[in-house]
């Protein structure tokens, strides 16, 4: 079924950003992202099956001495996919596939998280900050 799945992009659900106005040169960025277990599924009359994987991201930055917080961000997105010509696909079979082939979906989640965070940071003084990948594909 993986050959029938296409990445459709992401949708920002909620973002909360706080800049603590701390002047620093250098520092450390910490990122945590959690894939929510509930996959939002949308059946369609066109024979395709649409689904969205909710992801919650928390990013914080510390100064060079790791003593003070520079900024914090809470960010929720939905990473959207389509199963083309989805005859016989059910919510249960889709959830089993996601669990068995999570590496496939993590690649698109990494892309979506990085792209959405880069866009947010481009509107702040933190434009260009290096965002680490959240997933450990080898895990």
Domain boundaries, the chain: 2-121
Helix, strand, or coil here: 113?
Answer: helix
Residue 43 CB partners (closer than 8 Å, separation 6+): 49, 50
Classify domain 2-121 by CATH architecture: Roll (3.10)
Q: Is the dihedral of CA 32, 35, 111, 19 positive or negative?
A: negative
The model's pTM: 0.85
21: left (phi over 0), alpha (psi -120 to 50) or beta: left
Q: Which of 22-36, 51-65, 97-111 has the lowest mean pLDDT?
A: 22-36
Check pLDDT > 90 for residue 82. Answer: yes
Is the CB of residue 79 less than 8 Å from the CB of residue 53? yes
Please state, in angstroms and rounded to a whole number, the distance separating the CA atoms of residues 100 and 65. Answer: 41
User: Per residue in 117-135, pLDDT tens?
Assistant: 999 999 999 998 888 776 6
Please state, in angstroms and rounded to a whole number, the distance separating the CA atoms of residues 70 and 90. Answer: 45
Average pLDDT, the chain: 87
What confidence tier does 94 reach under pLDDT thresholds 50, 70, 90?
confident
Q: Which pLDDT does position 138 carry in this prediction?
A: 42
């Amino acid at each position: 079924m993986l050959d029938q799945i296409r990445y459709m992009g992401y949708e920002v659900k909620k973002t909360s950003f706080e800049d603590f106005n701390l002047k620093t040169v250098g520092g450390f960025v910490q990122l945590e992202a959690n894939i929510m277990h509930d996959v939002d599924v949308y059946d369609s009359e066109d024979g395709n099956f649409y689904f969205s994987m909710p992801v919650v991201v928390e990013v914080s930055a510390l100064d060079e001495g790791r003593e003070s917080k520079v900024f914090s961000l809470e960010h929720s997105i939905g990473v959207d996919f389509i199963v083309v010509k989805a005859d016989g696909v059910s919510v249960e079979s889709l959830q089993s596939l996601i669990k068995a082939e999570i590496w496939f979906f993590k690649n698109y989640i990494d892309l979506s998280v990085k792209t959405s965070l880069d866009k947010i940071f481009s509107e702040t003084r933190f434009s260009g900050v290096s965002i680490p990948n959240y997933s450990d594909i080898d895990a």
